[in-house]
Amino acid sequence: MANYWLMKSEPNAFSIEDLKALPKQTDMWDGVRNYQARNIMRDQMQKGDKVFFYHSNATPPGIVGIAEIASDEAYPDPTQFDEKSKYYDPKSDPEKPRWFLVDVKFVEDLPMISLEQLKANPKLSEMKVVQKGARLSVQPVTEAEWSEVLAMAKVNI
DNA sequence: GCCAACGTTGGC
DNA sequence: GCCAACGTTGGC
Protein backbone atom coordinates (compact mmCIF):
# COMPACT_ATOMS: atom_id res chain seq x y z
CA MET A 1 0.00 0.00 0.00
CA ALA A 2 1.30 3.35 -0.94
CA ASN A 3 2.04 5.79 1.82
CA TYR A 4 2.20 9.56 2.01
CA TRP A 5 5.06 11.75 3.17
CA LEU A 6 6.20 15.33 3.48
CA MET A 7 9.79 16.29 2.68
CA LYS A 8 11.30 19.66 3.48
CA SER A 9 13.82 21.53 1.43
CA GLU A 10 15.13 25.05 1.61
CA PRO A 11 14.39 26.59 -1.79
CA ASN A 12 17.69 28.46 -1.61
CA ALA A 13 19.44 25.09 -1.60
CA PHE A 14 17.07 22.95 -3.67
CA SER A 15 13.59 24.01 -4.75
CA ILE A 16 10.81 22.20 -6.54
CA GLU A 17 11.68 24.31 -9.57
CA ASP A 18 15.19 22.87 -9.42
CA LEU A 19 13.76 19.34 -9.34
CA LYS A 20 11.39 20.10 -12.22
CA ALA A 21 14.24 21.51 -14.31
CA LEU A 22 16.34 18.34 -14.16
CA PRO A 23 16.37 16.21 -17.35
CA LYS A 24 14.61 13.30 -15.67
CA GLN A 25 12.93 15.51 -13.06
CA THR A 26 14.43 13.10 -10.56
CA ASP A 27 17.15 13.56 -7.97
CA MET A 28 18.79 11.91 -5.00
CA TRP A 29 17.43 13.32 -1.75
CA ASP A 30 20.90 13.74 -0.33
CA GLY A 31 22.18 15.43 2.79
CA VAL A 32 19.74 14.05 5.35
CA ARG A 33 21.77 13.67 8.56
CA ASN A 34 19.05 12.84 11.04
CA TYR A 35 18.51 9.26 12.14
CA GLN A 36 14.74 9.43 12.33
CA ALA A 37 14.49 10.85 8.83
CA ARG A 38 16.99 8.28 7.58
CA ASN A 39 15.01 5.44 9.11
CA ILE A 40 11.86 6.58 7.35
CA MET A 41 13.64 6.70 4.00
CA ARG A 42 15.45 3.41 4.54
CA ASP A 43 12.70 1.36 6.15
CA GLN A 44 9.34 2.77 5.23
CA MET A 45 9.37 4.49 1.89
CA GLN A 46 8.35 2.53 -1.18
CA LYS A 47 8.62 3.31 -4.85
CA GLY A 48 5.53 5.22 -5.97
CA ASP A 49 4.76 6.71 -2.56
CA LYS A 50 3.56 10.28 -2.87
CA VAL A 51 5.33 13.19 -1.23
CA PHE A 52 4.38 16.77 -0.44
CA PHE A 53 7.33 18.97 -1.40
CA TYR A 54 7.67 21.59 1.34
CA HIS A 55 9.70 24.78 1.16
CA SER A 56 11.22 25.62 4.54
CA ASN A 57 13.03 28.83 5.40
CA ALA A 58 11.00 30.43 2.62
CA THR A 59 8.67 33.42 2.48
CA PRO A 60 6.20 32.07 3.14
CA PRO A 61 7.04 28.48 4.09
CA GLY A 62 4.57 25.91 2.75
CA ILE A 63 3.69 23.00 0.49
CA VAL A 64 4.46 23.79 -3.15
CA GLY A 65 3.94 20.54 -5.02
CA ILE A 66 3.90 16.78 -5.24
CA ALA A 67 6.73 14.37 -5.87
CA GLU A 68 7.03 10.60 -5.68
CA ILE A 69 9.57 8.07 -4.51
CA ALA A 70 11.41 6.93 -7.63
CA SER A 71 14.01 4.42 -6.37
CA ASP A 72 13.14 0.78 -5.72
CA GLU A 73 14.69 1.09 -2.31
CA ALA A 74 16.92 3.33 -0.23
CA TYR A 75 20.66 3.23 -0.91
CA PRO A 76 23.74 4.84 0.67
CA ASP A 77 24.01 8.62 0.28
CA PRO A 78 27.23 9.09 -1.75
CA THR A 79 27.85 12.56 -0.30
CA GLN A 80 28.76 11.04 3.07
CA PHE A 81 31.98 9.67 1.54
CA ASP A 82 32.83 12.77 -0.48
CA GLU A 83 35.41 14.82 1.40
CA LYS A 84 34.56 17.86 -0.70
CA SER A 85 30.86 17.68 0.13
CA LYS A 86 29.40 19.70 2.93
CA TYR A 87 27.55 16.51 3.84
CA TYR A 88 30.81 14.54 4.25
CA ASP A 89 30.72 12.34 7.34
CA PRO A 90 34.17 11.02 8.29
CA LYS A 91 32.61 8.69 10.83
CA SER A 92 30.65 6.77 8.23
CA ASP A 93 32.27 3.47 7.21
CA PRO A 94 31.86 2.62 3.51
CA GLU A 95 31.49 -1.02 4.55
CA LYS A 96 28.62 -0.02 6.77
CA PRO A 97 27.16 3.28 5.55
CA ARG A 98 25.45 5.43 8.06
CA TRP A 99 23.23 7.53 5.76
CA PHE A 100 20.70 6.38 3.19
CA LEU A 101 18.55 8.19 0.69
CA VAL A 102 15.84 7.66 -1.90
CA ASP A 103 15.32 9.15 -5.34
CA VAL A 104 12.53 11.67 -5.66
CA LYS A 105 10.71 12.49 -8.90
CA PHE A 106 8.68 15.59 -9.70
CA VAL A 107 4.96 14.96 -10.19
CA GLU A 108 3.17 18.30 -10.22
CA ASP A 109 3.13 21.82 -8.90
CA LEU A 110 0.46 22.86 -6.45
CA PRO A 111 -0.69 26.38 -5.73
CA MET A 112 1.24 27.17 -2.55
CA ILE A 113 -0.49 26.07 0.64
CA SER A 114 1.29 28.13 3.25
CA LEU A 115 2.18 26.93 6.71
CA GLU A 116 -0.16 29.63 7.97
CA GLN A 117 -3.05 28.05 6.03
CA LEU A 118 -2.15 24.57 7.26
CA LYS A 119 -2.11 25.82 10.84
CA ALA A 120 -5.48 27.53 10.39
CA ASN A 121 -7.21 24.30 9.32
CA PRO A 122 -8.58 22.44 12.37
CA LYS A 123 -8.60 19.17 10.40
CA LEU A 124 -4.81 19.39 10.20
CA SER A 125 -4.17 20.12 13.86
CA GLU A 126 -2.41 16.77 14.28
CA MET A 127 -0.28 17.12 11.17
CA LYS A 128 3.42 16.92 12.02
CA VAL A 129 4.48 19.98 10.08
CA VAL A 130 2.21 22.32 12.06
CA GLN A 131 3.48 21.13 15.44
CA LYS A 132 5.69 23.55 17.31
CA GLY A 133 9.34 22.69 16.99
CA ALA A 134 8.71 20.04 14.32
CA ARG A 135 12.15 19.93 12.76
CA LEU A 136 12.00 16.49 11.21
CA SER A 137 12.69 16.96 7.50
CA VAL A 138 11.00 13.73 6.40
CA GLN A 139 7.58 13.19 7.90
CA PRO A 140 4.68 10.77 7.52
CA VAL A 141 1.36 12.22 6.33
CA THR A 142 -1.94 10.41 6.89
CA GLU A 143 -4.33 9.74 4.02
CA ALA A 144 -6.88 12.11 5.59
CA GLU A 145 -4.28 14.87 5.83
CA TRP A 146 -3.18 14.24 2.25
CA SER A 147 -6.75 14.59 0.96
CA GLU A 148 -7.42 17.67 3.02
CA VAL A 149 -4.31 19.46 1.75
CA LEU A 150 -5.26 18.63 -1.83
CA ALA A 151 -8.73 20.07 -1.19
CA MET A 152 -7.09 23.26 0.10
CA ALA A 153 -4.90 23.40 -3.00
CA LYS A 154 -7.96 23.38 -5.26
CA VAL A 155 -9.40 26.35 -3.40
CA ASN A 156 -6.10 28.17 -3.79
CA ILE A 157 -6.18 28.05 -7.59
C1' DG B 1 19.17 38.23 12.96
C1' DC B 2 16.90 36.17 16.94
C1' DC B 3 15.89 32.37 19.48
C1' DA B 4 13.03 28.23 20.90
C1' DA B 5 13.06 23.54 20.15
C1' DC B 6 15.46 19.73 19.52
C1' DG B 7 19.40 16.45 18.29
C1' DT B 8 24.16 15.12 19.07
C1' DT B 9 28.52 14.89 21.42
C1' DG B 10 31.57 13.89 24.89
C1' DG B 11 33.28 14.24 29.76
C1' DC B 12 32.54 12.01 33.80
C1' DG C 1 24.07 6.25 31.39
C1' DC C 2 23.56 11.10 32.69
C1' DC C 3 23.46 15.62 31.28
C1' DA C 4 25.74 20.10 30.09
C1' DA C 5 27.47 22.16 26.18
C1' DC C 6 27.11 22.81 21.67
C1' DG C 7 25.20 22.80 16.90
C1' DT C 8 21.27 22.96 13.77
C1' DT C 9 16.61 23.82 12.16
C1' DG C 10 13.37 26.80 10.80
C1' DG C 11 9.60 30.12 11.95
C1' DC C 12 9.24 34.73 12.73
Q: Where do the domains of chain A lie?
A: 4-147
Which residues partner with A118 through β-bridges? none
Give nearest nucleotide to A133 (CA–C1'): B5
- Asked if residue A2 has pLDDT above 80, the reply is no
* Per CATH, domain A4-147 is 3.10.590.10: yes
Q: Could you report the per-residue pLDDT of A116-150, keeping only the tens digit for each? A: 999 999 999 999 999 998 899 999 999 999 999 99
Alpha carbon A65 to chain centroid, angstroms: 11
Beta A62-69 vs A100-101: how paired, if at all? unpaired
DSSP characters over A96-156: B-S-EE-EEEEEEEEEEEEHHHHHH-GGGTT-GGGSTT---SEEEE-HHHHHHHHHHHHHH
The whole-model pTM stands at: 0.95
A78-117 tens-digit pLDDT: 999 998 888 999 888 888 899 999 999 999 999 999 999 9
Three-state secondary structure call for residue A56 = coil
Q: How far is the CA of A141 from the C1' of B1 (A)?
A: 32
DSSP state of A90: T
* Per-residue model confidence as pLDDT tens digits over A49-78: 999 999 999 999 999 999 999 999 999 999
User: A68 with A16: CB under 8 angstroms?
Assistant: no
What's the Å distance between residue A93 CA and nucleotide B12 C1'?
28
* Distance of A70 CA from C4 C1′ (whole Å): 42
